[in-house]
Structure 1
């Protein structure tokens, strides 16, 4: 039986309108009643996630920034990793052949030099927003991750450029089809979950995890029970063909799966 449950947020636990459904909240509470530890593993910022979980009255660990930060249930910082300053400086001060906008994250929040109000729709519940700033004047030692947001094909071409320039000095991943992230080397949700599991006296085999995008890959493939959403990126399903696929986030498929797991674990599961 799993003792730690890790959940991606967007496209997984959250519905397409970026809300948590009532059935989802109910089943998370049931997991806690069964002494199963919860962690939300997301690309979202810790400042935003602390606001969200406080409204749910749930004890949960936070893996935020796609593994760059881990916080305890009480909000204590347990782990942090930032981009190599040389990498941050190179990315921010180079000219890239792309139409994508660039976004920088650090402990102060979300910084960009290009106002995109449509991006705030995903953050309406929390009120989390970006700050406009001259990114080229940011201190390179104070950058946790960098994101490029734009057309997927354009981002794929950009990824080739970034790989050629950065090599093994950074970890690149798609957190969504329209978002390419530059993270510290070796930093991902899977590595962060390994750190958290060890601190709790557990192994990754004691964990179950749910996700829908390529930034969930390492987490899903490393745990004892990894579940892929029915609305997942095709690349994720192709990369992990051995993992079960559950339903769509719009139908609160995580809650559907967990209710079955809690109430009828000996029966085969069929997506809703």
Structure 2
């Protein structure tokens, strides 16, 4: 039986750029919770951003994997927080100075609902499209501030070749971090070994659950590791080809509220004492 549902946010639970989870999806989450199944995000977003997405409805994120595994929450208690190395961010920001249009965005651990961020040696014009797309309030700085950061990203405008170039630059100057791309032209920076997948181990241990009791939903590169760890890995219809190859099951697209349909089916099946219908037919 499924006892925990974990869902990526952007392009899974809601279309990228949408500022609020739909009322129907929120209602479906509550149906799952009322059926006795835990629900939580497994997301690159941090908890303050998630508060905004759910309109302050904390029941929707009492449990979850946040900031790509840097923050773990189980039944309302934070059980792990991992900050990003200041030195690594300085090295990456310096290396990207020679790369046209690329820059580091740093998110302080002490934050608020405006989602403030420091953009290192970028122009306001360069920041603007990413600021609108990812919903942060950017401040241009000459150096990485010496404060604790829970998250950092890299803006990388351009196509796949530019993304590959960014990966190569970061790998050379900062082997102590990993970068993953949740959406085009954008990387999340993670301490090496930190991921949604590693966060799953911590979360399941805290909850006393096994990998066969969780369903994980996702769409992009930063979902791959966690999806490889569970039998019930589910791709939304708009997922990347790589995610579809890893996931054993499928549900509808984010734009069509496929997650709301899936969550309602989880609630129904749990009350009936059976496996959800979408987990009975593999797509591999």
Instruction: Establish whether TM, by shorter chain, passes 0.5.
Output: yes
Which of residues 236, 250, 268 in structure 1 aligns to 2:255?
250
Whether 1:223 aligns to 2:230 is yes
The 1:220–1:96 alpha-carbon spacing in structure 2 relative to 1, beyond 3 Å, is farther
- 175-184 or 150-159, which deviates more: 150-159
CA contact (8 A) 2:14 2:21 kept: yes
Matches within 5 A, 1:83-162: 83-94=84-95, 95-109=97-111, 110-112=117-119, 113-115=122-124, 116-122=127-133, 129-134=136-141, 136-139=143-146, 142-149=148-155, 150-153=157-160, 154-162=162-170
Question: Are the structure 2 counterparts of residues 130 and 24 from structure 1 closer, same or farther at C-alpha, using a change threshold of 3 Å?
Answer: same
**Preserved contact between residue 44 and residue 188 of structure 2 (Cα < 8 Å):** no
Over the aligned positions, Cα root-mean-square deviation in angstroms equals 2.5
Normalising by structure 1, what TM-score? Answer: 0.84
Please state how far the C-alpha of 1:98 moved relative to its aligned partner: 3.9
Number of residue pairs aligned between Structure 1 and Structure 2: 261
Whole-angstrom distance in 2 between the partners of 1:258 and 1:211: 14
In the superposition, relative to structure 1, how do residues 138 and 62 fare at CA in structure 2: closer, same or farther (>3 Å)?
A: same
Residue 253 (structure 1) shift? 0.6
**Alpha-carbon contact 1:88-1:143 (below 8 Å) kept:** no
Q: 1:194 to 1:159 in 2, by over 3 A?
A: same
SS at match of 1:97: coil
Q: Secondary structure at the match of 1:156?
A: helix
> Residue in 2 aligned with 1:55?
56
Contact 1:172 1:180 in 2 (8 A): yes
1:72-110 C-alpha deviation (Å, 9 max, x unpaired): 444x43211122343222112333424223211230342
Distance change in 2, residues 1:134/1:263 (3 Å): same
Q: Distance in 2 between matches of 1:137 and 1:107?
A: 14
Corresponding residue number in structure 2 for 1:191: 198
What's the counterpart of residue 4 of structure 2? 4
Shifted more, 251-260 versus 27-36: the winner is: 251-260
Q: C-alpha distance in 2, partners of 1:66/1:223?
A: 17
Unaligned runs of 5+ in 1: none
